[in-house]
Structure 1
């Protein structure tokens, strides 16, 4: 289980597989992506950047803490859609530091470390100097390369966020439910190969061997044709895809590059039109917000397992 490297005033439950964090005793200090976060109390006014951050707080019942959202990757699903629709949208893209500070947050939760840049929401040290703490989804760290993502690491993030917001009971409940749903997924045993097609036209941007795409495909029993690349995603070539001739293609359905657009491109591109997966339309589809590390990964995996079981070979 991943623990903060330095924690002040924190009592922990006995550590075992799947153990939850105990209630925090503030002040609380811990390392996040190589940056020390010092919290005097649980955050009360939070800006969330990216869907993964917003949906994490919604899943823990913390919508009353959110004072603004930005850079959302798509609409929130049930049962959070109505609640999410009432949240204040600060920007459709990455917000500036000025826009973030206008809502007087005490905490900014970013789905990617790159959200915290001088020309974005503000550098983490600068925000800390202004009394605004920050947190990055650990799987999205870049200052320190994260280990290959597993569902246990994902559950650790849920537990850590529950700890930060004094919502450990909600976090424990969510983790238990997701573990049960994950355990019910039977990996496919047909030895199928797969391509995770995230975006791109001239060259495909695909899921590689160390982040959410790899984690989900392994749970499904699929052999990722790009698993040998030690990265979350990578720019590949259509020639490499054709050489691998995957049995199945995972299509990420994004508002700016839909699954239907991807199907059309694959069918019309002379290089890819003769792929077995394209000819036989062997596709698995998931929404973009569920393709990055977050609370939707388990549900997306279960849905894709059902899609996979329905494919004919």
Structure 2
């Protein structure tokens, strides 16, 4: 072997590897976001999330260091101390809805939001408007009912969102661990419940005094109540979150009222209001004083949905969970 060949021999593996890398296709992740295909050319490094629900998903996936901000929390929600500790040092770009200017000023390279979760149809911030600035948007699956009429929310939405975010950020293994952990908890509840002869009627009370704000069959509370062995009394309404009349609540006669704990009024204040409402005095849940209080995070798509199902199931079917 010549001296020239002997010197080249140690370099051959490096040259071959470099050639393979140059010849291989660039990294890209393609996922389904509502009614469109979204392709992200590289894992985001400057992500922004909207709402406590979506922000929690990114934090649960271990992506805090790849975020440059969040929006839509302090204007409506109260953050638990554990989550607040993770958010410390991360700027809130807008207390309520972010503007296009907010996202551009932060140098965002990805926006995780949803319809009525940071984006409004015809608004300033949408997947189409951000695409012009090279900012891809992944839409929260539950919110797709606003652009895909009749779409029903399910627990699969949470699993799919976590897996899709795992692909987008190249943390698939972490996402799968979270999904399987949540699925195991939900399955355990189902095993405890078995075949229940009845499904107690549940009314979701979010807020509102003159007119209550509740959840129809297209929103996340629907599958949570079903998995807990109950029936959402507003399952006849093809809506996500919506206003209903007190007379409808009375007609449906819920056996348990689920109070969503967030907003200016405390859960205790909401409960006292319901107990004192003249029109509700004949409602079974009011007579029996049967309430379950869950956080906003627990009733919107999140890992906390598993705990919500556990809590609801134990309240609806205590005999199945008695020690």
Question: Normalised by the shorter chain, which TM-score bucket?
Answer: 0.7 to 0.9
Aligned to 1:74: 77
Q: Which residue of 2 aligns with 1:107?
A: 110
In the alignment, what sits opposite 1:3? none
Q: What SS is found at the alignment partner of 1:286?
A: strand
Matched residue, 1:38: 39
- Is contact 1:197-1:204 (8 Å) kept? yes
Name the Cα RMSD after superposition.
2.4
From 95, 99, 106, give the equivalent of 1:96: 99
Deviation of 1:180 (Å): 1.0
Determine which of 265, 274, 283 is the counterpart of 1:266. Answer: 274
For residues 122 and 80 of structure 2, the distance between their equivalents in structure 1, rounded to whole angstroms, comes to: 30
Q: CA deviation at 1:121?
A: 6.0
| 1:154 aligned partner | 158
8 Å contact from structure 2 (residues 225, 312) kept in 1: no
SS, match of residue 206 in structure 2? strand
3-state SS of paired residue (1:199): coil
Aligned 8 A contact 1:51 1:71 in 2:
yes
Q: 1:121 to 1:105 in 2, by over 3 A?
A: farther
Q: CA shift at 1:35, angstroms?
A: 4.0
2:170 is matched with: 166
Q: Choose the corresponding residue for 1:290, options 298, 303, 306.
A: 298
* CA distance in 2: counterparts of 1:196 and 1:114, whole angstroms: 19
Paired residues of 1:285 and 1:304 also in contact (CA < 8 A):
no
More helix by share: 2
Partner secondary structure for residue 206 of structure 1: strand
TM superposition shift of 1:255 = 2.4
The answer on whether the counterparts of 1:111 and 1:140 sit within 8 Å (CA) in structure 2 is: yes
Gaps of at least 5 residues in structure 2 are 1-24
Question: Given the superposition, is the C-alpha separation of residues 123 and 64 from structure 1 closer, same or farther in structure 2, using an over 3 Å criterion?
Answer: same
Deviations 1:201-243 (A, max 9, x none): 1111212112211101101111221112222233211111112
Q: How does 1:94-243 map to 2 (within 5 A)?
A: 94-112=97-115, 115-117=118-120, 122-141=125-144, 142-145=146-149, 147-185=151-189, 186-187=192-193, 189=196, 190-243=198-251
Q: d(CA) in 1 for partners of 2:124 and 2:118? A: 6
Q: CA deviation at 1:309?
A: 4.7
2: distance between equivalents of 1:25 and 1:295? Answer: 32
C-alpha contact 2:258 2:293 (8 A) present in aligned 1: yes
Q: CA deviation at 1:79?
A: 5.0
Q: Note the alpha carbon deviations across 1:67-93, whole angstroms, 9 max, x for none.
A: 111102534447534112342111211
Q: Which moved more, 1:230-239 or 1:164-173?
A: 230-239
Contact 1:49-1:115 at 8 Å conserved across structures = yes
Deviations 1:29-62 (A, max 9, x none): 4442234433210111011111111011111111
Indicate whether 1:253 and 2:277 are aligned.
no
| Distance change in 2, residues 1:229/1:247 (3 Å) | same
The answer on whether the counterparts of 1:94 and 1:120 sit within 8 Å (CA) in structure 2 is no
Q: Return the offset for 1:120.
A: 5.9
Larger Rg: 2
Q: Who is 1:10 aligned against?
A: none
Aligned length: 288
